Amino acid sequence: MINRVVLVGRLTRDPELRTTGSGISVATFTLAVDRQFTNAQGERGADFISCVIWRKSAENFCSFTSKGSLVGVDGRIQTRSYDNKDGQRVYVTEVVVDNFALLESRKDREARGQNGGYTPSNNGNAGASNTNNFQPNNGAASNNTNSNNSQNKPQDPFAGSGDTIDISDDDLPF
């Protein structure tokens, strides 16, 4: 049997870290994962998936993430049930996270926090490096548009080396 889940999304709120009676750390959070298709109005929907992470991983996750953080998680789906205070059986389905990855840089995360949750667009490429260099100008007109345009273009690391790069089909991994 296979029960494996891989998700990439943003946290809907700060993760909640708690400790069990036996001293084990556990964190819960909800991940908003965009759907691949749009509806009739051209809007993209999202799924909100409950996740739980345990022990030292939970502590690390809470230390390095906050509301809006772009993360990747790897885990398994688990279903459990309990009786609530009214005596009704409640069923819960959640992802038990085994591993996680932070998919945005600290600079992007801090910029999002300073800009009221605004994250410069990377055209939907999760985890792609951001070359927009978002800088608020506080209403001042920018006179250096030529220098900004050259900064936004990716730099060729091999430019000016004078060496030709010879790659054969045997060198490619695919």
Boundaries of every domain in the chain: 5-114
Give the span between the Cα atoms of 174 and 166, in whole angstroms.
Answer: 17
pLDDT digits (tens, 9 = 90+) for 73-91: 999 999 999 999 999 999 9
Which is the CATH superfamily of the domain at 5-114?
Nucleic acid-binding proteins (2.40.50.140)
**62: which DSSP letter?**
H
Determine how many CB atoms are found less than 10 A away from the CB of residue 70.
21
| Mean pLDDT taken over the chain | 78
**164: which DSSP letter?**
-
Give the span between the Cα atoms of 131 and 120, in whole angstroms.
Answer: 9
- What is the pLDDT, as a whole number, of residue 133? 38
- pLDDT > 50? residue 128: no
Task: Please give the share of the chain, as a percent, with pLDDT higher than 70.
Answer: 64
- What is the pLDDT, as a whole number, of residue 124? 44
- What is the pLDDT, as a whole number, of residue 7? 95
Give the span between the Cα atoms of 152 and 103, in whole angstroms.
Answer: 21
Q: Which of 70, 51, 74 shows the shortest CA–CA distance to 10?
A: 70
